[in-house]
């Protein structure tokens, strides 16, 4: 896609940093935001059940494909499966790029919100 540490959009930087925080076991911020998020649809509304039903229906094709993949892998070990890497570059290059991204936003991350919070103005996109 051509995105690198120099031209990475601010919101993407924040999400990458946030994912890394979760992977590193520091998920308190996102957990608090989830608890305090402003809901698009209130749970008690009839629209919520409709959206929930639609979401469940939308996941069925993917679930079916994953079940077929699971069946095809039964009895196989890691030696029997070849996984093609779709990444180029090195681990070191990736770590350096992430470090530059993290350094550029680490001071502003506490003010960043993944989802609109109760009582907060709309998030600019």
Mean of per-residue pLDDT scores for the chain: 84
| pTM given for the model | 0.53
pLDDT above 70: residue 115: no
The pLDDT value recorded for residue 55 is 92
Q: What is the pLDDT of residues 56-112, one digit of tens each?
A: 999 999 999 999 999 999 999 888 888 888 777 888 988 888 888 888 887 777 777
Region at 29 (left for phi over 0; alpha for psi -120 to 50; beta for the rest): alpha
Could you count the other beta carbons within 10 Å of the beta carbon of residue 13? Answer: 21
Instruction: Report how far residue 16's alpha carbon sits from residue 105's, in angstroms, rounded to the nearest whole number.
Output: 10
Q: Is the separation of the CB atoms in 15 and 7 below 8 Å?
A: no
91-105 and 10-23 helices cross at what angle (nearest 10)?
A: 110
Residues paired with 37 in a beta bridge: 117
C-alpha triplet 80, 60, 35: angle, nearest 5°: 100
| Average of per-residue pLDDT across 19-33 | 86
Q: What is the pLDDT of residues 82-92, one digit of tens each?
A: 888 877 788 89
| Average of per-residue pLDDT across 11-32 | 86
């Amino acid at each position: 896609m051509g995105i690198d540490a120099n031209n990475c959009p601010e919101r993407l930087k924040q999400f990458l940093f946030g994912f890394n925080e979760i992977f590193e076991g520091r998920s308190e911020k996102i957990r608090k935001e989830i608890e305090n998020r402003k809901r698009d649809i209130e749970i008690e509304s009839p629209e919520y059940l409709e959206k929930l039903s639609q979401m469940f229906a939308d996941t069925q094709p993917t679930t079916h494909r994953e079940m077929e993949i699971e069946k095809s892998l039964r009895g196989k070990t890691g030696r029997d499966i070849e996984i093609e890497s779709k990444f180029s570059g090195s681990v070191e290059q990736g770590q350096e790029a992430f470090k530059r991204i993290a350094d550029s936003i680490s001071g502003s991350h506490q003010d960043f919100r993944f989802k609109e919070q109760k009582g907060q103005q709309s998030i600019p996109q």
